[in-house]
Structure 1
Amino acid sequence: MKTDIKKHENGGAKSWIKAHLSDIIPVLGLILVLVFFNAVSGGKVFTKTNFNTLFNEAFSLLIVTYALIFVMAQGKNDMSLGGVVALAAALAAHASSISGNLVLPVALLVGLLCGLLNGLIVTEFRIDSFIATIAMSFILKGFVELLLQSGVQSIPIKMMMLDSQQLKITVALVFGIISFILFKYTMFGKHCRAIG
């Protein structure tokens, strides 16, 4: 009896590994690459400074990616993310010269309007989402070039307090949890998954 249970458990584990092998191999490959570079660099890969730098570089895209999950669940693409983020940041920086309180509303409004425009183009004009959004990306980046005149838009120094790791981690976790709940446990998430 005990040997039958062990055979079943082993067979279950083997079948689980076979079923998830395509998910496991990329993760193992990434771990091996990280371990290799950590060993070659003398342990300089896994440092707090490197993790902070990686997180700072990925933070904006991480937040946008939470929303992209809903788009991709519908079988669509949004290649305009870079252009939307650039335009939202440029206009928010311009708004910061008027008042620091305008930064977040302006950035959110720009993102919302760009998303609505992309959605209307894809749904009403029946243009493929990949083509429509990549074209939108070029258009938005052109607007940013015109707006900034190939220069840099500075923000008030008091706004630099928003550039803290604790705040970014908190925002990333809160947005991640909200996105997960919306995607997994609401009718909107269910409809997004059903379309794709």
Structure 2
Amino acid sequence: MIFFKNATKNIAFILASMLCLSSLNAFGQKIEDQIKSINSIDEANQFILVNENIDAQIWTIAPQIDENKSSRIFKNRTIGDIFSDGTNLYKIIDSRKTVALRVSYIFLDGNKMSLQAINNLRKKIVNQYKNGAKFSDLANQYTMDSAKDGDLSWFTEGTMVKEFETAIKKHNKNDIFTIDLTKENWYYVALKTYQDQIVEELTILKVKS
């Protein structure tokens, strides 16, 4: 931090800073020049901290499994790539291989039901599924949260509670099984709807142009 000896210099510095920031907002290329030198998540965080006037954030995406059509622009991108979608400027600052998982589930709350009642209900649900009931219909009937149809969509390793992910990894596509998270008092019936995938997860600096 620089401390000025008199108010005149201080005011001059502030005016110059405002002019510089205005230039950055008016010319996307100026921002692009700045982010060219950003090569790590720490540097990206520092950029966001210093440039409070700029709408910027860091987020992650796995384009292979992201079902949002806008994610297509991130496919086949590599670390260091800088590109725009007309509204935002992006830089890929990190990339890693990770596991993607997908299940549908029915949640039963151990704070509202006894374990015996939960286990009895889970047996009933599994039997109904094996006798031809659609899992989505069972989820809408029995789940004790607001997840429609029970579909959890794709998520990458490290997103959910570790014990939940570990249980999913032990099973194959189309397996129906139970998961107990006793510490949280959460209990599940889960249906593995897809086989696990190895995907590329990108960490991106996103800056509004």
- TM-score w.r.t. the length of structure 1 is 0.27
By percentage of residues, which structure has more helix?
Answer: 1
- TM-score w.r.t. the length of structure 2 is 0.25
By percentage of residues, which structure has more strand?
Answer: 2
Larger-Rg structure? 2
